């Protein structure tokens, strides 16, 4: 299971150096789990209990609109943290579902243990601010792309930046994330 933690440490190291004390704290607080394909691990209408780090596999964050259509808010590319962060941190009922698209290896930490990490860790607060800024910028860029790029331009940009998702995630999920129909996405793939 040490490779689970090494993936986490490598991810954090892209932003800041984690001292051994904090690594040991992570080993105590983050629990490794295996989640089979298609498992919804956090459901809409509940207070989400865990902050998740994806070691391997692909996940989606989605909600259902008033017409019963699933709208995908987030897909993962590689190892990263994944949750309905605002609702998790504020212990509020979430309207989002977190689902494993493929079999996934995860590390997860409970909400109470996040507080322990913040109080006892040296780097957790700095890291949280930096990772939130990174996610905020990514979300702002996605909103800009949705408003200003054509469906074809969004598809090309996404395919170029996310080749692993293109190979491992169903087209319907990608289409939802891009804000286009699966039929339109199939047509774009055929002509390009």
Q: Show the low-confidence residues of the chain (pLDDT under 70).
A: 192
Q: How many residues does the chain have?
A: 192
Q: How many domains does the chain have?
A: 1
Residue 182 counted as domain residue:
no
Residue 129 counted as domain residue:
yes
Residue 11 counted as domain residue:
yes
pTM to 2 decimals? 0.89
CA atoms within a 13 Å half-sphere pointing along the CA-CB vector of 141: 11
Residue 143 counted as domain residue:
yes
- Give the pLDDT of residue 64: 94
- Give the pLDDT of residue 124: 73
Residue 58's closest CA among 152, 139, 182, 162?
Answer: 162
Q: Give the pLDDT confidence of 112-166 residue by residue, as tens digits.
A: 999 888 888 877 777 777 777 787 888 889 889 989 999 889 999 999 999 999 9
Domain that residue 110 falls in: 2-148
Residue 115 counted as domain residue:
yes
Question: Under a CB-based contact definition with an 8 Å cutoff, are residues 60 and 173 in contact?
Answer: yes
Residue 7 counted as domain residue:
yes
Residue 37 counted as domain residue:
yes
- Say which CATH number the domain at 45 has: 2.60.120.10
Residue 175 counted as domain residue:
no
């Amino acid at each position: 299971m040490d490779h689970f933690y090494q993936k986490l440490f490598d991810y954090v190291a892209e932003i800041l150096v984690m001292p051994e004390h904090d690594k040991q704290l992570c080993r105590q607080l983050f629990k490794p789990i295996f989640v089979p394909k298609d498992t919804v691990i956090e459901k809409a209408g509940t207070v989400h209990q865990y902050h998740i780090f994806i070691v391997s596999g692909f996940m989606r964050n989605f909600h259902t609109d008033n017409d019963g259509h699933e709208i995908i808010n987030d897909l993962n590319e590689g190892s990263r943290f994944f949750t309905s962060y605002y609702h998790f941190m504020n212990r509020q009922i979430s309207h989002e579902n977190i689902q494993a698209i493929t079999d996934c290896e995860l590390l997860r930490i409970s909400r109470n243990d996040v507080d322990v990490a913040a109080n006892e860790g040296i780097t957790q607060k700095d890291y949280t601010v930096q990772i939130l800024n990174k996610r905020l910028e990514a979300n702002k860029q996605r909103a800009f792309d949705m408003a200003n790029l054509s469906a074809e331009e969004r598809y090309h940009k996404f395919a170029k930046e996310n080749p692993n998702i293109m190979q491992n995630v169903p087209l319907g999920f990608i289409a939802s994330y891009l804000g286009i129909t699966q039929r339109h996405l199939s047509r774009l793939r055929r002509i390009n």
